[in-house]
Structure 1
């Protein structure tokens, strides 16, 4: 078995059982993407794309779990959405990074986080409700393993990824709610590496929220002018 075959269909012996290579490696790429996203680096998006492809193959097959035989279409479907939004986020963050560099800011980061406006939050809530309803009906009809919980994981993941692309601090809070449901669902379905990674994500999600919250708070402070007065920062004006 060559490396590519091992990456796509290999297994890692663990005690009396084994772990799926694409499931483990896909989640490692997902974790790396989350860490890079916390640091607001453009590489978060292409790294995440690799993990999306690997995890889609895991959940769409339904054969890598020793507990359930049905595909987890909600989990597989969100990888497709992740890939689409990752392309959008990659392009958007690249443009923002270039704009910051052209403006004299060369810290390597793509953007300054901000809190979403109340209008944007309302849009997220509406989109989340509609997304959950549509996902539930679709997953139930195609025979996914757990449509009720998978629908939330799918809809919540969509909102969180979109919020990250837009640079909203709230996206970390949405991830916390997604992970809370995801860990239980994946353990019951027998996808232990992914369930463990969800639990491990919780630490980085909490850290990411604090990092982005502090950056947003710092950007909203008044900036001093040469005469000693102050003016609101451009980032803070979005709040």
Structure 2
């Protein structure tokens, strides 16, 4: 009984470590803690390898993007409020950003779908492209502390769990199912903070 577990552990320790750090990342983001970003950066670096090996190429590129946006988010949460020395506060996304965000999401989806379908051996080009495009937009929204980013994550995390199950990435399936529940909790928590700010 021990030997099969140790064999699995030795083959999947990078994914397992990434999943554990992923739990920490989502917990920290709900709490709006600045360590969200360094933990997210490390998580993403590990998942670049996991998704490369599993042939989730768009998700691998997404993790590379996450490494960069973690640096941006780290800075923006500390210095992103131009009217004050205080850290950035939760807000609603301005209406003027809705059309550009939707347009960017669609364009990214089509770009990734074309690339994955015709230039890779990805087994799930549609799903991989959809979750990647939406995740890029949602992470930018997180960096700006727009409360609506949680609504995108609820969908992306739940849908992603099925994709990773298709490839047998079971620690990641569990991670993304937990992410889904935590995204629901995160939305409620941030929305309550917003209500308190507006009161």
Q: Which runs of 5+ in 2 are unaligned?
A: none
1:14 aligns with 2:23: no
Post-superposition Cα deviations, 1:45-89, rounded to whole Å, max 9, x if no partner, equal 011111111111111123xxxxxxxx1102211101111111110
Output the CA distance in 2 between the equivalents of 1:17 and 1:31.
21
Higher helix share: 2
2:63 corresponds, among 46, 71, 79, to 79
Moved over 2 A (4+): 12-19, 96-100
Residue 134 (structure 2) pairs with residue 156 (structure 1): yes
Contact kept, 8 Å, 2:135 with 2:153, in 1: the verdict is yes
Query: TM-score normalised to the size of structure 1?
Result: 0.76
Q: Which has the higher strand share?
A: 1
1:145 corresponding residue in structure 2: 123
CA deviation map 1:15-74 (0-9, x unaligned): 995561110111211221111111112110011111111111111123xxxxxxxx1102
Structure 1 distance, partners of 2:136, 2:125, is 16
Correspondence 1:65-214 to 2 at 5 A: 71-96=55-80, 102=85, 110-140=87-117, 141-214=119-192
Counterpart Cα distance in 1 of 2:160 and 2:48? 16
Paired residues in the alignment total: 195
Q: Which has the larger radius of gyration?
A: 1
Q: Determine the C-alpha separation between the residues in 1 that align with 2:91 and 2:140.
A: 14
Aligned residues: CA RMSD: 2.1
User: Which residue in the other structure is 1:41 paired with?
Assistant: 33
User: TM-score normalised to the size of structure 2?
Assistant: 0.90
SS at match of 1:20: helix
Q: Which runs of 5+ in 1 are unaligned?
A: 1-11, 63-70, 104-109, 222-239
Change (3 A) 1:14 1:137: same
Displacement after TM superposition at 1:142 (Å): 2.1
Which structure ranks higher in relative contact order (CA pairs < 8 Å, sequence separation ≥ 6)?
2
CA distance in 2, matches of 1:197, 1:98: 36
Cα separation, partners in 2 of 1:13 and 1:22, compared to 1, 3 Å: farther
